[in-house]
Amino acid sequence: MPDLANLSIKSARDALQKKEFSARELAQASLDVIKEKDKDVHAFLEVFDDVLAQADEADKKITKGENLPLLGIPVAIKDNILVDGKSATAGSKILEGFISSYDSTAVKKLKDAGAIILGRTNMDEFAMGSSTESSAYGVTKNPHDLSRVPGGSSGGSAAALGAGFVLGSYGSDTGGSIRQPAAFCGTVGLKPTYGRVSRFGLIALASSLDQIGPFARTVSDAEILYDAIRGQDILDSTTISDETYPKEKKFSKIIGIPRTFVESEGVDESVKKNFEKAVEKFKSLGYEIKDIELPHIQHSLAAYYIIMPAEASSNLARFDGVKYGLHKDGSDVIEDYFKTRGQGFGKETRRRIILGTYVLSSGYYDEYYGSALRMKELITDELKEAFKKIDLILTPTTPTPAFKIGEKISNPLAMYLEDIFTVPANIAGLPCISLSSGFDGVLPLGIELTAGLGREDNLFIAGKEFLGE
Amino acid sequence: MDKEKVIDLAKLARIDIDDKEAESLSHEFDVILNYVGEIKNTKVLPLISDSQGKTLGNIMREDVKPHESGIYTKKVLEQAPMNEGYYIKVKKIL
């Protein structure tokens, strides 16, 4: 039987090709550990009933001599990424019972790469949150300390990996929803350049920021998972090609640190200490460390919490109880809408839709939404300029280690501040990776590397060196 | 933001909320808007639409080769809470 705890995707693929174990045995090992431990963690909303059938198909292909990048590897998918014929709820009651009628491009590519789609993982409702507490289907727990959150919104995918249920999983990242839970659960988490991965079949939160990306144990595995899903797609006109952002600068091992930003109020002492250790480690690996000034970066979060609810209020208008999902009956069509949306959306979703409606309403549009767009452009230009002189930016991933379940749920602003270090990459569309950088007691901590547009290659080089791969 | 305004906004967003929620949202919005409002006071450049970015622009494709009419209809309609024949059903509007 394969020993999941000591495998990477790379080593599992080698073993599968050498027939040291079968895809069925590998899938069964995942199913067994999920059955034993997921009642405590609650990473999965559903484990699909055709996992072993998928594994048998993979075994047939291996026997035929096929060699695909993810052939026979079980992966977990966040509950907002559509799989044909399977349920997808985005963690919301309003989509309870919804069955996807098509594959998202990411899932189609995964199937083409031979992956086994194991099941769908828990998430904050419509990806709105940093703790997975706003899911309509219960809280996911941090596998390192069950009294704490796994982070969010892709908390289920991060916890599934952190708990050793799978070798790889996927989430979506609008303001940090892959990187923050990756840091809390001690995994690698990658948000690719905006447009690198097709959003076709991803249930939208904020379309100008959303991006699908992988969680993995190692940077090498993250790269495999990323390569499997990336690419231009005619079904998402915001996708980019390899030529969109020419690689003008040669990698020269220069890391910039926005000191004022890193020393923001509210950053935990344990995080600061851990961060300085990481800086020293990069120095010892031959990296040049430079302090940089990014005067507007601290406004990223404010701009984000205007742009994101604005786009969410528009995107979520499609849930009306008519086309799919929940329907609550009123006396007429309009009352059907009000009841369906009032009862189908959870508290945080209602809050953000109403806030988004406000910042887009006549009289406030320019003051809030217009200012936020201008700020987004300014921050993007500022970062673009910075990457002419440096290769990477280093910050902590989160201001604190994983917090207690319930600690921040009643204070929306405190929850929003969790995203302070992750949001700039979404605002500027940059690729960004969170790497596990040690522990505060039993709680994992993470550091985050950001690269210039289209420069995932730099993240992989530095990430592998940092983790000693 | 007062409670009445929250109720008006919820109506615009077509969401049923009760008085208690409107009351608590009005306080939460004050805190959130106070925070995000920091960008209102920052001097920033006017919005430059595509003056320097060559990457920003509409991406169009030819409106050709549609799929055969009706091949996905049944699958998609199955997800509608109410349907009749090849249509989604809603209540009488007028």
Determine the pLDDT at residue A386: 95
**Residues of chain A neighbouring B72 (CB-CB closer than 8 A):** 101
Tell me if A353 and B15 make a contact (CB, 8 A cut-off).
yes
Q: Which of A72-86, A285-299, A366-380 has the lowest mean pLDDT?
A: A366-380
Which of A237, A343, A351 comes nearest B28 by C-beta? A351
Residue contacts between A and B (CB atoms, under 8 Å): 140
Tell me if B35 and A413 make a contact (CB, 8 A cut-off).
yes
CB–CB of A123/A80 below 8 Å? yes
**Residues of chain A neighbouring B78 (CB-CB closer than 8 A):** 99, 101
Task: Give the model confidence (pLDDT) of B57-73 as tens digits.
Answer: 788 888 888 889 989 99
Task: Give the model confidence (pLDDT) of B74-94 as tens digits.
Answer: 999 999 999 998 899 999 887
Nearest CA in chain A to B52: A381
Tell me the backbone φ, ψ of residue A449, rounded to 5 degrees: -110, 130
Q: Residue B45: pLDDT above 60?
A: no
- What is the average pLDDT across A31-38? 98
Task: Give the model confidence (pLDDT) of A131-150 as tens digits.
Answer: 999 999 999 999 999 999 99
Determine the pLDDT at residue B46: 55
Percent of chain A scoring above 70 in pLDDT: 100
- What is the average pLDDT across A285-294? 97
In-domain check, residue B94: no
Comparing A410 with A192, the larger pLDDT belongs to A192
**Residues of chain B neighbouring A355 (CB-CB closer than 8 A):** 29, 32
Nearest CA in chain B to A360: B9
Q: In what order do the strands lie in the sheet with A44-47?
A: A44-47, A116-121, A74-78, A168-172, A212-216, A188-191, A432-440, A443-451, A392-396, A254-257, A288-291
In-domain check, residue B73: no
Q: Residue A42: pLDDT above 80?
A: yes
Nearest CA in chain B to A374: B47
Mean pLDDT of chain A: 96
Closest-CA distance of chain B to residue A192, Å: 17
- Band the pLDDT of A414: cuts 50, 70, 90: confident
Domains parsed from chain A with CATH numbers: 7-229 (3.90.1300.10)
CB–CB of A122/A79 below 8 Å? yes
In-domain check, residue B17: yes
- Among B12, B15, B19, B26, pick the best mutation site for testing chain A contact (most A Cβ within 10 A): B15
Owning domain of residue B37: 3-41
Tell me if B91 and A357 make a contact (CB, 8 A cut-off).
no
What ipTM goes with this model?
A: 0.93
Closest-CA distance of chain A to residue B12, Å: 7
In-domain check, residue B88: no
Beta bridge partners of A233: A236
The answer to whether B56 contacts chain A (CB < 8 Å) is: no
Q: Residue A83: pLDDT above 80?
A: yes
CB–CB of A446/A435 below 8 Å? yes
Determine the pLDDT at residue B44: 58
In-domain check, residue B85: no
- Band the pLDDT of B51: cuts 50, 70, 90: very low
Mean pLDDT of chain B: 86
- What is the average pLDDT across A343-355? 97
Tell me if B42 and A375 make a contact (CB, 8 A cut-off).
yes
When divided into structural domains, chain B yields a total of 1
- Among A343, A371, A409, A416, pick the best mutation site for testing chain B contact (most B Cβ within 10 A): A371
Determine the pLDDT at residue B42: 64
- Band the pLDDT of A212: cuts 50, 70, 90: very high
- Band the pLDDT of B43: cuts 50, 70, 90: low
Comparing A372 with B51, the larger pLDDT belongs to A372
Determine the pLDDT at residue A108: 98
User: Three-class SS string for B19-66?
Assistant: HHHHHHHHHHHHHHHHHHHHHHHCCCCCCCCCCCCCCCCCCCCCCCCC
Tell me if B15 and A350 make a contact (CB, 8 A cut-off).
yes
**Residues of chain B neighbouring A245 (CB-CB closer than 8 A):** 55
Task: Give the model confidence (pLDDT) of A415-429 as tens digits.
Answer: 899 999 999 999 999
The Cα–Cα gap between B39 and B29 comes to 16
In-domain check, residue B13: yes
